[in-house]
């Protein structure tokens, strides 16, 4: 079975919509826990340079915390909006995996790979936490895609 370009785009949109619904549903069911609190501490600061100074002694990569610093300024301090940054990165990972599977193997593989990641319990769970793990997955997939394409 071969998918036309329009069918692939429609399938990707449906997969992303489904993934967004699954990840956003009950996103604020649990209160912040210790690691999410630590994320908030690391990303807090009046300026970005304060965040960078705080991150200087931490073992985690600083990009997520710097982005979260601005994200909080833009969306506010609710558990839902803070966790949506991870959801956003999860959806980027799904779209990038679709493209990677399509480029490396076939459009059908791209659809299946994106659907499997959209259904993955671990990715769904991590997309509902204010932690950097979905960003790590998305950037790993994107770096692989760019490495193979360019």
Summarised one tens digit per residue, pLDDT across range 105-132 is: 999 999 999 999 999 999 999 999 999 9
pLDDT at 73 over 70: yes
The pair phi, psi for residue 89, each rounded to 5°, is -65, -35
Higher pLDDT, 56 or 106: 106
Average pLDDT over residues 66-95: 94
Q: How confident is the model at residue 1, as a pLDDT?
A: 65
Query: Rounded to a whole number, what is the distance in angstroms from the first to the last CA of the chain?
Result: 29
Please give the share of the chain, as a percent, with pLDDT higher than 90.
67
Q: How confident is the model at residue 59, as a pLDDT?
A: 75
pLDDT at 7 over 90: yes
Closest CA to 27 of 115, 128, 123, 122: 128
Q: Helix and strand tally (H, E) in the chain?
A: 8, 0
């Amino acid at each position: 079975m071969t998918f036309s370009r329009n069918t692939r785009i429609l399938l990707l949109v449906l997969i992303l919509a489904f993934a967004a619904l699954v990840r956003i549903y009950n996103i604020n069911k649990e209160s912040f826990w210790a690691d999410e609190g630590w994320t908030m501490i690391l990303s807090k600061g009046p300026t970005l340079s304060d965040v960078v100074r705080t991150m200087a002694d931490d073992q985690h990569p600083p990009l997520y915390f710097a982005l979260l610093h601005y994200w909080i300024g833009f969306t506010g301090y609710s558990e839902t909006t803070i966790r949506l940054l991870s959801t956003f990165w999860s959806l980027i990972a799904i779209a990038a995996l679709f493209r990677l599977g399509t480029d490396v193997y076939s459009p059908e593989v791209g659809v299946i790979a994106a659907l499997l990641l959209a259904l993955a319990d671990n990715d769904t769970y991590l997309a509902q936490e204010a932690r950097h793990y979905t960003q790590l997955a998305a950037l790993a997939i994107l770096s692989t895609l760019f490495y193979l394409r360019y």
